[in-house]
């Protein structure tokens, strides 16, 4: 491509030509020193050194090609760079031989480019929004362009891409440059950044951009990825991405296609079980046993409030070359200079290239930036106390687990995964029992998970008994509005499909017959408080129902309300009785409320006169 006259590229090209043809004593001395250095190397060493330099500079070249590809996808490039079809084919012709002979190096370099193309605005939104503890799998337009470029390279079939990513995960996706290398203070800088998350994100972007028919044919490779992936040694975000890849796969090829293929259905169930178990372990990071005699889990009460910064692997600006002008820093994310590691190690299986230590000196901010990114991406053990990961896992399970299980199982196979649901429920229940401000996000995620499970009747044995106890708990209404909306769904499913639950609740509301016995056990104030709570709970249950659902139970409901209205000078109980009346007006048809009007009108007259 020719430089456009008057542009910065043309200026740099001319200046470089001037430097090449300018000979001075200093340049002669430096060139002689460089030549003397190469004369000491053998031919094989020179070849390896040249190969190393080319591969280390390859991410910068690849970043430029990705920028050109992005401009071509826009349809009308801002600069007259040529015919889009011809340039697109030239890029593919250039990359295809590299992919064929250096597949792993190509993918690791592309992963580094992927990290620099994450949207700055989306990253800031993820760290500032209220739902920052919910994982996001939305990628920037530049990243989607990279996925399109990857899928356009026909010499790299999608199955091979999946297999390469799986192999990279198995090998840890990051190796020390040479076995036996001394880990000095410059090692982290030379090692740059791990790429496991970026590789998985690229794969996820490709999955979303692939047709359902092509995805169906790629299932053996995806199955190998799920089966062989070392989920216990990967960062939590890597486990989340694999789980969402499975979810998107099932949604894209449709549930019917999965269920009709018995072998695919069984393999998908195994993958779902493995990934869910890994996420359930992450959920349990914030739980502990009260005693060693009984496995009763409770939420930890430690004071640790460390927040995770793990959203998506990103190269930070702090590591950018300091020679860049201030005007260039604003567009750093989309430029080749954003690939900050001066020497990028590669993952070629044939030869492990050593990274030159020249220019190893850096500022303390640079070292801290590298250390923070590596620790947050590579070492999951250092983040096991991070509550954000547990809430992210809970929200993901709440959004997808119940529907995923229902989509990959036939009717006769659905009980096969009930033990898995029991295990998840065991780690979810402690969060539902803890009613405090610190546990608010855990409670919301757990309520959403329970609401999704309650929509499927065959999952009812898992949660029914414990949920009824939670509904009857005196502290039931200590929750925010978002959680309360989920509990409307939960309560509806609990009462609709169980005839005994509503009768049990009515039995807990005191009447004239059992009030004398209860007064012997508790004081009047406690008894009235219990009555008010029971009436409020009754109103909530009726509110969660369908129109006219409790028509058959209206006589029993009216009896409880009338008995509690006979109490004199007990405003706390009367307030809840009229709350029940208001809910009945919403949830019952007018013709069914004829028998209740006399008591309602009488009490209204009494209160209006007072």
Helices 196-209 & 158-170 angle (0-180, nearest 10)? 160
Same domain, yes or no: 512 and 589: yes
Q: For residue 79, what pLDDT is reported?
A: 65
Q: Are residues 11 and 83 in the same domain?
A: no
- Does residue 389 sit within a domain? no
Query: Do 103 and 17 belong together in one domain?
Result: no
- Do the beta carbons of residue 570 and residue 528 sit within 8 Å? yes
For 569, counting Cβ atoms within 10 Å of its Cβ (0-12 exposed, 13-18 middle, 19+ buried), the class is: exposed
Rounded-to-integer distance, Cα 447 and Cα 453, Å: 10
Euclidean distance between CA atoms 287 and 294, whole angstroms: 14
Note whether 148 and 386 are within 8 A (CB).
Answer: no
φ and ψ at residue 496, rounded to 5 degrees = -70, -40
- Asked whether residue 402 is assigned to any structural domain, the reply reads no
Per residue, the 3-state secondary structure of 396-443, as one string, reads HHHHHHHHHHHHHCCHHHHHHHHHHHHHHHHHHHHHHHCCCHHHHHHH
The total of other beta-carbon atoms located within 10 Å of residue 443's CB is: 25
What is the spatial distance between Cα 243 and Cα 399, in angstroms, rounded to a whole number? 12
Predicted confidence at residue 120, as pLDDT, reads 52
Is the same domain home to 131 and 5? no
Q: 77 and 173, same structural domain?
A: yes
**Radius of gyration from C-alpha coordinates of the chain:** 32
Total count of domains within the chain: 3
pLDDT attached to residue 511: 53
Kindly report each contact of residues 87-91 with a partner whose C-beta sits within 8 Å and lies 24 or more positions away, as own/partner: 87/1, 88/152, 91/65, 91/149
**Confidence (pLDDT) at 128:** 43
**How many Å apart are CA 136 and CA 143, to the nearest integer?**
14
SS3 83: coil
How many Cβ atoms are within 10 Å of 197's Cβ, its own excluded?
27
Same domain, 228 and 83: yes
Is residue 191 situated within a structural domain?
yes
Q: Judge whether 334 lies within some domain.
A: yes
Identify whether the C-beta of residue 470 lies closer than 8 Å to the C-beta of residue 476: yes
> Are 452 and 513 a contacting pair, CB within 8 Å?
no
**Is 448 part of a structural domain of the chain?**
no
Say if residues 411 and 336 touch (Cβ distance below 8 Å). Answer: no
Q: State both tokens at 109.
A: 């370099």
Residues 13 and 91 in one domain: no
DSSP result, 233-299: GS-HHHHHHHHHHHHHHHHHH-HHHHHHSHHHHHHHHHHHHHHHHHHHHHHGGGEEES-SSS--EEE
**Cα 218 from Cα 440, distance rounded (Å):** 41
- Decide which of 379, 403, 432 is a domain's last residue: 379
The phi, psi pair for 218, rounded to 5°, reads: -90, 5
Residue 301 lies in a domain: no
List all residues 6 or more positions away from 274 whose beta carbon is below 8 Å from its beta carbon. Answer: 226, 227, 231
Contact 320, 202 (CB under 8 A): no
Same domain, 78 and 227: yes
Residue 299's beta-bridge partner residues?
287
Which residue bears the tokens 């009768």?
503
pTM value is 0.77
**Do 319 and 342 lie in a common domain?**
yes
Q: Which two tokens stand for residue 578?
A: 């009229």
CB-based contact 142:70 (threshold 8 Å):
yes
> Any idea what DSSP says for residue 379?
-
Q: Are residues 6 and 22 in the same domain?
A: yes
Measured distance CA(136)–CA(201) in Å, rounded: 11
Alpha carbon 567 to its chain centroid, in Å, reads 53
* pLDDT for the residue 600: 77
What single string gives the DSSP state of each residue in 26-49?
HHHHHHHHHHHHHHTS-HHHHHHH
35/49 Cα distance (integer angstroms): 14
| pLDDT score recorded for residue 44 | 75
User: To the nearest 5 percent, what fractions of the chain are helix, strand and coil?
Assistant: 70, 0, 30
Alpha helices in 284-386 (DSSP H): 326-329, 364-378
67 φ, ψ to 5°?
A: -65, -40
Give the integer Cα–Cα distance in Å for 98 and 94. 7
Q: Do 503 and 596 belong together in one domain? A: yes
Classify residue 85: in a domain, yes or no.
yes
**Which residue range forms the structural domain that includes residue 12?**
1-40
530, exposed or middle or buried, with CB in 10 Å at 0-12, 13-18, 19+?
middle
Q: Given 357, 379, 401, which residue is the final one in a domain?
A: 379
> Mind giving me the DSSP string for 92-136?
HHHHHHHHHH-HHHHHHHHHHHHHHTS-HHHHHHHHHSTTTTS--
Q: Which of 379, 408, 435 finishes a domain?
A: 379
- CA torsion 43-48-54-57 (nearest 10°) is -130
- DSSP annotation of 19: H
For the chain, which ranges sit under pLDDT 50? 1-7, 10-11, 13-14, 17-31, 35, 38, 121, 124-130, 173-192, 303-306, 309, 315-383, 512-517
Residues 114 and 25 in one domain: no
Q: Look at residue 567 and tell me if it is in a domain.
A: yes
CA distances from residue 477 to 30, 121, 431 in whole angstroms, order as listed: 78, 38, 15
Within a 10 A sphere around the Cβ of 488, how many other Cβ atoms?
14
């Amino acid at each position: 491509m020719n430089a456009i006259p008057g542009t910065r590229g043309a200026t740099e090209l001319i200046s470089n030509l001037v430097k090449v043809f300018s000979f001075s004593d200093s340049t002669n001395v430096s060139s002689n020193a460089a030549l003397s250095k190469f004369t000491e190397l053998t031919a094989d060493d020179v070849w390896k050194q040249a190969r190393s330099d080319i591969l280390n500079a390859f991410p910068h070249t690849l970043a430029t090609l990705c920028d050109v590809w992005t401009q071509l996808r826009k349809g009308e490039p801002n600069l007259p760079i040529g015919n889009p079809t011809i340039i697109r084919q030239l890029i593919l012709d250039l990359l295809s031989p590299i992919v064929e002979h250096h597949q792993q190096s190509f993918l690791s370099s592309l992963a580094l480019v992927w990290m620099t193309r994450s949207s700055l605005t989306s990253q800031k939104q993820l760290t500032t929004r209220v739902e920052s503890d919910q994982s996001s799998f939305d990628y920037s337009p530049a990243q989607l362009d990279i996925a399109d470029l990857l899928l356009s390279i026909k010499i790299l079939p999608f199955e091979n891409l999946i297999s390469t990513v799986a192999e990279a995960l198995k090998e840890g996706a990051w190796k020390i440059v040479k076995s036996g290398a001394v880990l000095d203070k410059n090692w982290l800088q030379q090692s740059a950044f791990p790429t496991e998350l970026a590789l998985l994100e690229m794969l996820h972007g490709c999955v979303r951009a692939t047709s359902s028919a092509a995805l169906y044919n790629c299932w053996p490779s995806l199955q190998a990825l799920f089966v062989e992936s070392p989920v216990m040694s990967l960062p939590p975000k890597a486990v989340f991405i694999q789980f969402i890849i499975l979810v998107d796969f099932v949604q894209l090829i449709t549930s019917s296609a999965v269920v009709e293929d018995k072998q695919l259905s069984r393999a998908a169930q195994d993958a779902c079980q493995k990934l869910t178990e890994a996420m359930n372990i992450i959920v349990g990071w914030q739980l502990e046993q009260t005693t060693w005699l009984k496995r009763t889990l409770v939420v930890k009460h430690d004071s640790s409030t460390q927040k995770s910064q793990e959203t998506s692997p990103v190269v930070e600006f702090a590591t950018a070359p300091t020679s860049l002008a201030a005007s260039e820093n604003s567009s750093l994310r989309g430029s080749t200079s954003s690939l900050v590691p001066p020497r990028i190690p590669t993952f070629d299986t044939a030869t492990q290239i050593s990274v030159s230590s020249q220019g190893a000196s850096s500022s303390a901010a640079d070292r801290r930036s590298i250390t923070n990114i590596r620790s947050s991406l590579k070492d999951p053990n250092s983040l096991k106390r991070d509550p954000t990961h547990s809430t992210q896992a809970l929200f993901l399970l709440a959004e997808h687990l119940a529907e995923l299980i229902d989509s990959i199982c036939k009717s006769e196979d659905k009980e096969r995964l009930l033990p898995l649901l029991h295990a998840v429920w065991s780690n979810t229940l402690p969060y539902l029992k803890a009613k405090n401000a610190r546990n608010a996000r855990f409670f919301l995620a757990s309520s959403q998970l329970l609401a999704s499970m309650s929509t499927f009747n065959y999952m009812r044995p898992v949660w029914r008994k414990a949920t009824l106890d939670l509904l009857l708990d005196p502290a039931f209404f200590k929750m925010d509005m978002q959680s309360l909306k989920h509990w409307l769904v939960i309560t509806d499913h609990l009462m609709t499909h169980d005839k005994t639950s509503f009768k049990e609740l009515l039995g807990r509301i005191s009447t004239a017959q059992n009030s004398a016995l209860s007064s012997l056990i508790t004081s009047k104030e406690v008894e009235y408080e219990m009555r008010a709570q029971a009436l409020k709970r009754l109103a909530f249950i009726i509110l969660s129902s369908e129109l006219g659902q409790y028509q058959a139970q209206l006589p029993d409901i009216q009896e409880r309300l009338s008995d509690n209205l006979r109490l004199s000078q007990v405003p706390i109980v009367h307030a809840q009785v009229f709350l029940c009346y208001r809910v009945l007006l919403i949830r019952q048809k007018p013709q069914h409320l004829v028998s209740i009007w006399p008591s309602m009108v009488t009490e209204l007259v009494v209160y209006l006169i007072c």
